[in-house]
Amino acid sequence: MNEPEPAEMNEFDVHDAIGESEHRADYRAGFVAVVGRPNVGKSTLINALLGQKISIVSPKPQTTRNRLLGILTREDAQLIFLDTPGIHLPLHKLGEVMVETAAATLPDADALLWVVDATGAPNDEDRKVAGIIAQARTRPPLIIALNKLDRLSEGSDTADRRRQEYSALAPHGEVALISAVRGDGLPELADRLSSLMPLSPPLFPQDQVTDQQVRFMAGELVREQVLLHLRDEVPHAVAVLVDEFSERANGMTYISAVVYVERPTQKMIILGKDGAMIKKIGQAARHQIEELLETRVFLELWVKVRPKWRTDEEELRRLGYPMPKKKRPRRRSTARNSSRA
C-alpha cells in the first residue's frame, strides 16, 4: 500500500515518473472506467479483480463518492481501473459532484466497463448511464458486465432477457456475464479488457495497487462502518475526515478522524446510547484499518455537526469532494507514445 503523500493527486502525471522499465514489446496498458448506477457492484468487482480491497462496499446505494484507481498488473498487461460513484439522479450538490466525477472519467478511458445488475431490468438511472456513454466525446470499446448472476436461478432465461434489454441501450457494447461476489467470469473479463488496451509499457510501478493514500483509505473504512451500522438517510449525511495519522515509536498507528453529520439528531444517532454506537463503529473500523496497515491502530473518532455540508461547495471541497476539473486534452507520457508503433 502507498505511504501517505501530502500532495494532491496530479491527474496522471505519475506516468512521467516511470521510465522505460523492462517489459515485453507487446505489453499493453491503459485505463478502464468502471461506470454504472449505484449499488450494481462496481467496487466489489474491482476489489475482486485485484484480489485486494481498495474501495469500500455496502448494500446501500451511493457508497463510492470519489474516483479511485485500482491497478492490476499482469504479465501481459496493466489494467488501471477507475472506480467511480454510481450515476444517479442527484438530489443535492454532493450528488451532482459524484455524477460529474463519474462522467469525467470517460475521456480518460481506453475501455468502458458498464456494470449492471442482472437481477433487474434497466431503470431510469441505467438509461442515464447509457445517455452519458452515448454522449461522450470519445467512444472507447464498451463492455456491459451483467453482474450478480449468482442471484439468477440456474437454467432460467432471465440472463438472456437482461442481455437484450441492456444491449438495446448501448448496441455497440459486448456483454460479459459475471458474478463479482462468486468470481464467475472474472478471468475472462480481465483477459478481454487486457486485449483492448493499447500497446504501452506499464503506467504505474508494478507493485502499486492504488493511487490512494492510506490516510484517505482509513477515513473510507470508517465511513464504510457507518454505512453498515446505520439506516435511512444518516449514512448519506456522513463525511469522514482524518485529521491526524501518525506512526508512534511503539509501532502503533495513531489515527484521529472526525465524522461529520448535518444535524444534531444525526449526531445523537451516531453516538448512540452512552456512546455505544460510535464505539461499535470505531472497533469495527479499527480492525479493518489494522488489516490494511498491518500495524496496531489506535483510532479516535469525533462526531461534529456541519449543517448542510452536502449542499455547500466550499464544504464539499474541504471534505474531499471537489467538482472535477474541466477536462484538458488527453495527454500521454513520452514513454507511452514512444512505444506506440
Q: Could you say whether residue 66 binds ligand GTP (CB under 6 A)? A: no
**Nearest distance, CB of residue 280 and ligand GTP, angstroms:** 19
Residues 22 and 156: their CA atoms lie apart, in Å, by 48
**Nearest distance, CB of residue 68 and Mg ion, angstroms:** 9
Structure-derived torsion over alpha carbons of residues 164, 169, 173, 176, reported in degrees to the nearest 10:
-50
Contacting Mg ion within 2-61 (CB under 5 A):
42-43
Q: Which C-beta is closer to ligand GTP: that of 224 or that of 315? A: 224
Local structure of 272: helix, strand or coil: coil
Q: Could you say whether residue 210 binds ligand GTP (CB under 6 A)? A: no
What are phi and psi for residue 179, nearest 5 degrees? -135, 110
Nearest to 26 by CA among 72, 74, 81, 70: 74
Q: Could you say whether residue 148 binds ligand GTP (CB under 6 A)? A: yes
**Nearest distance, CB of residue 67 and ligand GTP, angstroms:** 11
Q: Find the angle CA(33)-CA(35)-CA(41) to the nearest 5 degrees.
A: 115
Q: Could you say whether residue 147 binds ligand GTP (CB under 6 A)? A: yes
Handedness of CA 75, 336, 110, 331 (dihedral sign): positive
Q: Which C-beta is closer to ligand GTP: that of 181 or that of 284? A: 181
Contacting Mg ion within 175-194 (CB under 5 A):
none
**Strand (E) or helix (H) holding 81:** strand 77-83
Q: Could you say whether residue 229 binds ligand GTP (CB under 6 A)? A: no
Q: Which C-beta is closer to ligand GTP: that of 57 or that of 69? A: 57
Please identify which residue in 24, 127, 139, 151 interacts with ligand GTP, judged by CB under 6 A. Answer: 151
Q: Which C-beta is closer to Mg ion: that of 38 or that of 198? A: 38
Interface with Mg ion: number of residues (CB under 5 A): 4
Q: Could you say whether residue 99 binds ligand GTP (CB under 6 A)? A: no
Q: Could you say whether residue 63 binds ligand GTP (CB under 6 A)? A: yes
Q: Which C-beta is closer to Mg ion: that of 37 or that of 336? A: 37
Q: Find the angle CA(300)-CA(231)-CA(50) to the nearest 5 degrees.
A: 70
Residues 134 and 50: their CA atoms lie apart, in Å, by 28
Please identify which residue in 76, 100, 150, 165 interacts with ligand GTP, judged by CB under 6 A. Answer: 150
Count H helices, E strands: the chain?
Answer: 11, 9
**Grid cell for residue 52:** 485486494
Q: Which C-beta is closer to ligand GTP: that of 77 or that of 189? A: 189
Residues 154 and 150: their CA atoms lie apart, in Å, by 9
The answer to whether residues 296 and 290 touch, using CB atoms and an 8 Å cutoff, is yes
Q: Could you say whether residue 63 binds Mg ion (CB under 5 A)? A: yes
Residues 45 and 146: their CA atoms lie apart, in Å, by 11
Name the residues that contact ligand GTP, by CB under 6 A.
36, 38-44, 57-59, 61-64, 85-86, 147-148, 150-151, 179-181
Name the residues that contact Mg ion, by CB under 5 A.
42-43, 63-64
